[in-house]
Amino acid sequence: MSPEPEALRAAELRRQLHHHAHRYYVLDAPEIPDADYDRLFQELQALEAAHPGLLTPDSPTQRVGGRVLDGFTPVRHAVPMLSIRTETDTTAAGAEAFDARVRRELALPDDAPAVAYAAELKFDGLAINLRYEHGVLVLAATRGDGETGEDVTQNIRTIGQIPLRLHGTAPPVLEVRGEVYMRRDDFEHLNDAQRAKGEKTYINPRNTAAGAVRQLDPAITAQRPLSFFAYGLGELQGWPQPATHSATLDALAALGLPVCADRTVALGAAGLVAFHQAMGARRDVLPFDIDGVVYKVDSVALQQQLGFVTREPRWAVAHKYPAQEQTTTLRGIDIQVGRTGKLTPVAKLEPVFVGGTTVSNATLHNVFELRRKGVRVGDQVIVRRAGDVIPEVVGRVPGTRPAYVPNFRMPRACPVCGSTVLREKGGIDHRCSGGLFCGAQRKQALLHFAGRRAMDVEGLGDKIVDQLVDGGLIRTLPELYTLGVAKLAALERMGEKSAVNLVAALQQSKQTTLARFLYALGIRHVGETTAKDLAKHFGALDRIMDASVEQLLQVNDVGPVVAHSLRTFFDQAHNREVVEQLRAAGITWPEHDGSVAALGPQPLVGKTLVLTGTLPTLAREDAKALVEAAGGKVAGSVSKKTSYVIAGAEAGSKLDKARELGVPVLDEDGLRALLRGDGAGQDTGAGAAQAG
C-alpha cells in the first residue's frame, strides 16, 4: 500500500522545515526569507489539523504551544549527570595544577609528551540532557540532583536551535548534553521590553534562562529567546563514539546540533594557559556570559583510565574567571543629568572589583526601577558588569538593611541648574526642563554634536567640554566655532599644539553632510538612521525645517513621535537661531533637489543596470548616481538578473555577455528615457551600433 499524498507532503514539509531551521538558528545563514518559511510552516499546520494522524513528535509545529502543566514529571537519568571540579585559582596556576594532577594520575614520566586537552567555554546557563531515539528528540530533562531530573521536553522543543530530528543516519539511542543559555543581547532586549511595559526586569541571563526552562506554561518559554550549546554525551546505543572528545563535538555538529566554535585542542599546561588567557581577553565581546573555561582530557581512552572521584570525573576541570557579579554596599544615590535632560539615579558604591575592573558607580536606570528593586542607601546590593554594558545594580541582598531608611525621591529641581523637574504623564523618566540653559545638558549636547558620527570634531573630549561650559566660555553650540587658539591653550591639560589641532579639527568639521548635521543637533528621537532618511527624502535643510507633520510622516520609518519631535524642535525660535548661527559660522553640506531625485518617482526600483564603455556626456559616477537616485542598482558584471546594459563607446566583453544572455542594451539616450520613466524595456540597439 502506498502512502497517501498528504502523508508524503507532510514528510516533505517537515524535511524542508528542519533544514531551514538549522540554516537559520544554528548556522545563522538562512537560505529563504522568513515569509517563505512561515508559508511552509502554515501549510504543515493546516495538513496536520485536517489529518491529525499525520502529526509526529518531531514535527516543527510542535515547537509552539503545548498544554500548561501542573508540575514536571521526574526523569531518572540513564547515565548520571555529573558535575566537574572547579578550579577557583583564576591565574595560570589553576591550569598548571590540573595538568600536573592528570599526569600524576596517568603515571606519566616527566619526559612524556604533553597531554592533549579539549578546551572549551564554560557556558553560564542550565544543563540539559536531550534524548534522541532513532534521530527524533523524545525527551529533554534538567540535571536535577544528577540522578533524577525533570521532564522539560515541551519547553525545550520551543528552542529553535535544538533539532527535533538529527541529520543523517541516526542511532537507536543518542543522549546529548549541553547548556541552555540566553545571549546577552537577547537578555537586554527582553529587559528593555520589560522596562517599556513598566514591569520587573530580570537579574541576569543565567537565572532568566533557567527560569524559562522551568516554566509550567510552554507558551511563556516560547517567548523567551533561548539558545543551546552541546558539550557532551549521556546514554549511547549503536553510536560509534569518536576516539576523542573534540571529534565527538565535531560529530554532534554534523548531526545538526549547535556546538560552540570557540574551542581548541590544547597541548599541555602551556596550551591550557594560552586558551584561558585568550578567552579571558575575549570574554567581554562574546555574545553570551561565561564564568570560565573547561578542560577535558581529549582521548576517550585516557578519560576511561582516569575515571571518577565520587561525583566528579578526574579528566575534566572548570577553570574560572573573576566574577561579573559582586555584592557591595550602596553608599548613596546621585542624580546625573543627560543630554535630553533625563535624570538618572546613579548608585554610589563601596568600590568593588567586578567583571575585570573596579566599579564605584552603577546605573539604577530610573526611579521606578529603583523602587521595584527595593534598594535603599546602606543596603548590600548586587552589582553586575558584563561585556561592554555599563555597570548596573540588579538587586539587593535581602535582610541586610541596617535600620529604617527612607525611600529615595526624585528632586523637584534639577541638581545642576535648578530648573523644574517634570515627568510626562504616564512616562517613566524625569527630565530637567532647563534645556540648554542647564549646564549638564549643554555639556552633553556639545559632546553629542562633536561626536564621531555627528560633526566629528576630533579632540573635543569631556574634560575640555567640562572646562568650556563650567568656565562660561561656551553657552551655545555655535560659540564652539568662535574659539581661538589662545582661549583653548589656556585650558588645563591643553598645550599650544593641542589647541592648534582642535581649532583645525573644528575648521575641518564644517564640511559635512546634511544627515550628520541633522543628527548632531540632538533632536529627540532623531537618531543616525532617521537623520539619513530625512536627508535623503528632503534633500535640503530648509525643506525639513518647514515640513508639516503630514509631510514628515511620508518619510521612511518616521512615525508620529519623530514627526512631532521634529516639529516641536523647529517651531522653537531659539533652535532656528542656533541653526542659522551654525550656517553663518561656515558649516556647509551638499544639498539636492528633493523634489526630483528623492521625492519624484523611482522608475528603476528593483532594476539592476550594468554600465560599460564611455557615454557621450555622462561620467560613470554621475550615471551611477542618477540610477541610484531613481531607485536602481548598478552592478559590475552582467548576469541573467541584469535588467539593462548601458553601453557607450568601446564597450567590451560586458556587451558580448549581454547579447549572449539576451539582456536589453541601451545607449545614453536610452538611459535618460529610463530615468524619466518612459521607454522602459526598449532595446534601442543604438548602444550596440555605437560600440561596434
Question: What distance in Å separates the CA atoms of residue 49 and residue 65, rounded to the nearest whole number?
Answer: 14
Which CB sits closer to ligand IVH, 140 or 526? 140
HSE value, Cβ hemisphere, 13 Å, CA-based, for 665: 26
| Residue whose CB is less far from ligand IVH, 129 or 419 | 129
- Chain-centroid distance of CA 453 in Å reads 19
Is residue 122 at the binding interface for ligand IVH, with CB under 6 A as the rule? Answer: yes
Is the Cα dihedral 235, 240, 245, 247 positive or negative? negative
233 and 241 in contact (C-beta within 8 Å)? yes
Distances in whole angstroms, Cα of residue 536 to Cα of each of 511, 582, 598, 608:
18, 21, 7, 21
Count the neighbouring beta carbons within 10 Å of the beta carbon of residue 451.
16
364 binds ligand IVH (CB under 6 A): no
Provide, rounded to whole angstroms, the least separation between the CB of residue 588 and ligand IVH.
56
Among the listed ranges 118-126, 218-226, 468-476, 617-625, the one in contact with ligand IVH (CB under 6 A) is 118-126
In DSSP notation, 501-550 reads HHHHHHHHHTB--HHHHHHHTT-TT--HHHHHHHHHHH-SHHHHHH--HH
CB of 163 to ligand IVH, least distance (A): 19
Distance of alpha carbon 160 from alpha carbon 252, whole angstroms: 17
186 part of the interface to ligand IVH, by CB under 6 A:
no
Residue 175 near ligand IVH by CB under 6 A: no
Count the Cβ atoms, other than its own, within 10 Å of residue 567.
14
Stretch that binds ligand IVH, among 76-84, 95-103, 329-337, 456-464 (CB under 6 A): 76-84
Helix (H) or strand (E) holding 691: helix 686-691
Spatial separation of the C-alpha atoms in residues 310 and 545, rounded to whole Å: 74
Number of residues that bind ligand IVH (CB under 6 A): 13
Residue 127 touches ligand IVH, criterion: CB under 6 A? yes
Residue number, 282 or 676, with CB nearest to ligand IVH: 282
Which listed residue (7, 11, 69, 82) binds ligand IVH by CB under 6 A? 82
Q: Choose the catalytic residue: 122, 296, 373, 607.
A: 122
**Of 165 and 245, which CB lies nearer to ligand IVH in the complex structure?**
245
Looking at the Cβ atoms of 294 and 520, the one nearer to ligand IVH is: 294
CA separation for the pair 308, 105 (Å, rounded): 11
Q: Is 77 in the site for ligand IVH (CB under 6 A)?
A: no
- Cα-to-chain-centroid distance, residue 614: 44
Identify which range of 12-20, 77-85, 639-647, 670-678 contacts ligand IVH by CB under 6 A: 77-85
Answer yes or no whether residue 83 interacts with ligand IVH by CB under 6 A. yes
Of 294 and 386, which CB lies nearer to ligand IVH in the complex structure? 294
Write the interaction track for ligand IVH spanning residues 459-478; mark x where CB under 6 A is met and - where it is not.
Answer: --------------------
409: cell is 525621591
Q: Does 80 bind ligand IVH (CB under 6 A)?
A: no
**What's the residue count for the chain?**
692
Strand segments, DSSP code E, in 154-278 are 173-181, 227-237, 264-267
Given a contact cutoff of 8 angstroms between Cβ atoms, the answer to whether 289 and 206 are in contact is: yes
Part of the chain binding ligand IVH (CB under 6 A), chosen from 82-90, 164-172, 190-198, 590-598: 82-90
Q: Quick check: 84 binds ligand IVH (CB under 6 A)?
A: yes
Q: Which stretch binds ligand IVH (CB under 6 A): 38-46, 80-88, 418-426, 495-503?
A: 80-88
CA dihedral 131, 257, 320, 271 (to 10 degrees): 120
Nearer Cβ to ligand IVH (88/529):
88
Dihedral sign for Cα atoms in the order 79, 83, 85, 89: positive
Backbone angles phi, psi at 544, to 5 degrees: -70, -45
Closest to 450 (Cα-Cα) out of 494, 502, 499, 485: 502
Please identify, using beta-carbon distances, which residue of 120 and 298 lies nearer to ligand IVH.
120
Q: Of the ranges 13-21, 117-125, 358-366, 517-525, which one interacts with ligand IVH (CB under 6 A)?
A: 117-125
Geometric angle at alpha carbon 668, from 663 and 672, rounded to 5°: 95
What is the pairing mode between strands 264-267 and 290-297? unpaired
Give the number of C-alpha atoms closer than 13 A to the C-alpha of residue 194, restricted to the C-beta side: 18
CB of 229 to ligand IVH, least distance (A): 7
Q: Which is nearer to ligand IVH, 14 or 122 (CB)?
A: 122
**262 versus 350: smaller Cβ distance to ligand IVH:** 262
Residue with C-alpha cell 540588579? 394
Backbone φ and ψ for 240, nearest 5 degrees, come out as: -75, 100
Residue 122 annotated among the catalytic residues of the structure:
yes
**Binders of ligand IVH among 294-313, rule CB under 6 A?**
294, 313
224 binds ligand IVH (CB under 6 A): no
Q: Does 10 bind ligand IVH (CB under 6 A)?
A: no
Which region, judged by CB under 6 A, interacts with ligand IVH, from 119-127, 514-522, 576-584, 664-672? Answer: 119-127
Site for ligand IVH in 235-294 (CB under 6 A): 294
As measured in angstroms, the least distance from the Cβ of 257 to ligand IVH is 13
Among 10, 222, 252, 316, binds ligand IVH (CB under 6 A): 316
Which residue ranges make up the site for ligand IVH (CB under 6 A)? Answer: 82-84, 120, 122-123, 127, 179, 231-232, 294, 313, 316
Residues labelled as active-site residues: 122
